[in-house]
Structure 1
């Protein structure tokens, strides 16, 4: 058995019989789904809105032991139970080597995570405050993008499994490049990333594994064959032409 990546494969449990006519099993990401293999330090899952990529990412993170609303395995807060039961149908094939660090970042519930950190730091403790691991400044006292970068730079320490759901939601193009640079540092420290994204910038990480949700389910693809790359390139090369097409009566 290989010692890396930490998460190597995800299967549907053979003893479970999901109803593929009901959510979340009727999403395109689950069409024909049997297993999903991770062979690179960085894996992307991409697809249109509503294709089920975030639902799949969330289920993988929850099955691995992370809090469904985000954070490390030590977080157990919940503001509203909105996650699907897909994780109950998944079986994970892991390395014999356990990651020393890990985090599940959900852009849509990051506010709740920041609030939970503040609540934890209000409780009596003999150790340092939780926020010290996140840069020492309240995440609520920073912009959304600044707090994301503070998390990634200060909290992610390497030798870890990091599952990110649409991290570009709060990041400018420049900060997305900062994320790429930090990812590269962490990958050199034996880290694994599994990321759902719409960003052609983040998706450009070299030698990454890219699964695209198609009408036939999840399919491996190359960066330059993705819609994200093709549409962005076409627009930037000739925005006037594309806008004229969009604005036709």
Structure 2
């Protein structure tokens, strides 16, 4: 039997595209030297400092797939401030012949606008039948994972941990795993070491040298968190200049 995934196999800059490598976003090292990025059939994490290009690339993929710049499903389009880059115009996406039955683009910074739109159109069944504004930010995001995401889908998440406490990040890991077991694929830009711990995921590091694949234990997120939790008194004394 042929594998059901990945729905999205890889992304690259079209060879025939005319780009100016001195202008944004192509002057970002990770975008400039992207080559062909291949995705894990289950979960691919994009990591790096702010400004490293991970969210820019995720947005470009989402727009190339037909999503609104502010997120949501492909069934509606939200007005945008027009701040998105033109990267999507030059991307080539390699997709499987198998099409996902579900999909969603979540970006934490504009999720409030998506929630407002849902209230305005009265479409709440897919979110547990309750206004997203009547929930905390974390509750609203968990409603996405447990009610809106139906499985057999391709889900693009930009910094979902912004809405989640540590306990809810653990709950999100469980929900993501259930969706992966139901033939879903995730591409997630994140700073969360909890989310990055998902077993067998592919982790792609964006930095000043371009792109590289790293193991969970080799990420700065793991190293810094692990070191701080195990030596927090000494680290605080040093950071705060205490004797």
Aligned to 2:61: 60
Residues 31, 216 of structure 1: 8 Å contact kept: no
* Equivalent of 2:167 in 161, 174, 180: 174
Aligned 8 A contact 1:44 1:210 in 2: yes
Shift of 1:29: 2.3
Corresponding residue of 1:199 = 192
**Matched residue, 2:38:** 37
Q: Is the 8 A contact 2:4 2:183 kept in 1?
A: no
Partner of 1:244: 237
Q: Deviations over 1:117-159 (max 9, x none)?
A: 11212xxxxxxxx201110010011111111111111000100
Aligned to 1:8: 9
Residue 160 of structure 1 corresponds to 153
In the alignment, the residues of structure 2 paired with residue 113 and residue 145 of structure 1 have an alpha-carbon distance, to the nearest angstrom, of 15
| 8 Å Cα contact 1:2-1:95 kept in structure 2 | no
Runs of 4+ in 1 over 2 A off after TM superposition: none
Contact 2:69 2:80 in 1 (8 A): no
Question: Does structure 2 conserve the Cα–Cα contact (< 8 Å) formed by 1:58 and 1:68?
Answer: yes
Question: Match of 1:188?
Answer: 181
Q: Secondary structure at the match of 2:193?
A: coil
Q: Which runs of 5+ in 1 are unaligned?
A: 122-129
Aligned-partner SS, 1:179: helix
Instruction: Please give the secondary structure, in 1, of the residue aligned with 2:233.
Output: helix
SS at match of 1:201: helix
How is 1:20-99 mapped onto 2 (pairs within 5 angstroms)? 20-99=21-100
What SS does the corresponding residue of 2:11 show, helix, strand or coil?
strand
- Aligned residues of 2:40 and 2:201 also touching (Cα < 8 A): no
Per-residue deviation, 1:245: 2.0
Measured in 1, the distance between the counterparts of 2:115 and 2:182 equals 26
Deviation of residue 81 (structure 1)? 1.5
Q: CA deviation at 1:209?
A: 0.2
Question: In 2, Cα distance between the equivalents of 1:38 and 1:113?
Answer: 27
In structure 2, what is the Cα distance between the partners aligned to 1:224 and 1:28?
24
Instruction: Measure the CA separation in 2 of the matches of 1:244 and 1:163.
Output: 39
Deviation, 1:3, is 4.4
1:119 aligns with 120
**Deviations, residues 73-104 of structure 1 (Å, cap 9, x unaligned):** 11211131111110001010000011000000
Greater CA drift, 188-197 or 76-85: 76-85
State how far apart, in whole Å, the 2-side matches of 1:54 and 1:79 are.
16
Conserved? CA contact 1:161–1:192, under 8 Å: yes
Choose from 203, 207, 211 the match for 1:218: 211
- 5+ residue gaps in structure 2? none
Among 126, 130, 146, the residue aligned to 1:133: 126
